[in-house]
Amino acid sequence: MDTTTPDQALCRLDDIPDGGAIAVDAVLRDGEESVIVLRRDDAVRAYMNICPHAGRRLDWAPGKFLVKDNLLICAAHGASFQDEDGLCVGGPCRGEHLRSVGIRVADGEVWLDE
């Protein structure tokens, strides 16, 4: 995983499987954090890799996520989050949101935009 600063790219758009997600380490205001980067077609979203239910990472193995039918599923307790806005629509933290991370896509790369 790469560590980035706000003026660096998090990853290439092609690094993210269409309909899937990857994790990257990014230096945010609060320090270094794991960030989930999701892609559906050319739409890209990023969220902190922290489930609002129990504060655990969402990946089932480092950088590996369960994404099905546009839902990101927390591997720990099964909370299901919409990829477009991070809203929990099923599981123990229904109604809560993943914390979004500002990004932008330019020249085929995903940049931190905080």
Over the stretch 1-11, which tens digit does the pLDDT of each residue have?
455 444 678 99
Q: What is the pLDDT of residues 68-109, one digit of tens each?
A: 999 999 999 999 999 999 999 999 999 999 999 999 999 999
Q: Alpha-carbon distance 43 to 17, whole Å?
A: 12
Write down the domain spans for the chain.
3-112
pLDDT at 90: 97
pLDDT-derived band at 114, boundaries 50, 70, 90: low
The CATH homologous superfamily for domain 3-112 is Rieske [2Fe-2S] iron-sulphur domain (2.102.10.10)
- For residue 58, the one-letter residue type is L
Q: Alpha-carbon distance 69 to 50, whole Å?
A: 21
Helix, strand or coil, per DSSP, at residue 62: coil
Q: Positive or negative CA dihedral for 104, 38, 17, 76?
A: positive
Bridge partners of residue 61, in order along the sequence: 64
Q: Alpha-carbon distance 27 to 46, whole Å?
A: 14
How many CB atoms neighbour CB 96 within 10 A?
16
pTM exceeds cut of 0.85: yes
Q: What is the pLDDT of residues 41-66, one digit of tens each?
A: 889 999 999 999 999 999 999 999 99
